[in-house]
Structure 1
Amino acid sequence: HMGALIGMILMPALASLRADWRTRPQPWIIGGCLASALALLSLATAATVGPSWPLRGSVLLLGITNGVYAIAAIGAMMNLVSEGRDNREGTRMGLWGASQAISFGIGGFVGTAAADAARHFMPSTASAYATVFAAEAALFVLSAWLAIWIKRPRTQTSTLPAQPANQGA
């Protein structure tokens, strides 16, 4: 948790160097996801290397990168809540917060279940954890790819036939 706090403080400090960080959180989200993936791969490596690996450093790095990602995602959410119909910002923030909490809980449960299942099927506990951490890293890479599409303008195509102007007027 100390790493997450450091990342949460570090993200706005670094982002303040760019004037557009509040209106363009997307690069920070993508960077946070990719950095988190690297930190998880570091933990996977720790599982295979063993006691000589700096495990505390890997866990701290994961916390920092997750803190950066979390603040960037919150920034994106704050930008998105004001779009659409007026007077819905509070509802949107509440729904976003609830979905974050549910996702965090499900992620913790699924990660634990995956580690237990992998330990059952794999020859060693270390290889089971390495596999789960590598899979989580892959999910962060997928999340970074999905974040590319945030705030991209949609092209609207109409399925209705075009109506001539001033018909029947």
Structure 2
Amino acid sequence: MTQAVDVSLRDIPFQTAEGETKTLAEYDGQVLLVVNVASKCGLTPQYEQLEALQRAYADRGFTVLGFPCNQFAGQEPGSMEEILEYCSVTWGVTFPVFDKVKVNGGKASPLFKALKKTRDAEGKRGPVLWNFEKFVLTPNGELHRFRPNVKPDDPAVVEIIEANLPR
């Protein structure tokens, strides 16, 4: 389901793996795929598809933004150094991987608190269900939500990315 994004979403700060503060506004004009990731999850092979999307569309104005999360069965227990090494060595990840976040509960990242207001294809909003929940933000401010079982290269995801690439 498509939903317009509150302009303030682009201004919510989050931390890089190195501790720097960024916002989505730094990626204005791009199609973004924001996803909570984990290294020890049955869905971890989605890293391969996320990286394939990054490589296919990065030069046309697309970026995957990965946010490690350890809230689901402790499936992202490592330090940021360990996570970054795992992503690079195991999956060849070139997209940005940010600092660990909580996506649900009272201590959830402000970015994910805002993203969770978005409805999925069934019209449901609310908590992130598991690792690898995906949010596609288009340059014109539309936000699309895909639950963890929807693979990054699913035709519905790819169609939204391709339809909104700026170049």
> Structure 1 length as normaliser, TM-score?
0.22
Larger helix fraction of residues:
1
**Higher Cα Rg, which structure:** 1
> Structure 2 length as normaliser, TM-score?
0.22
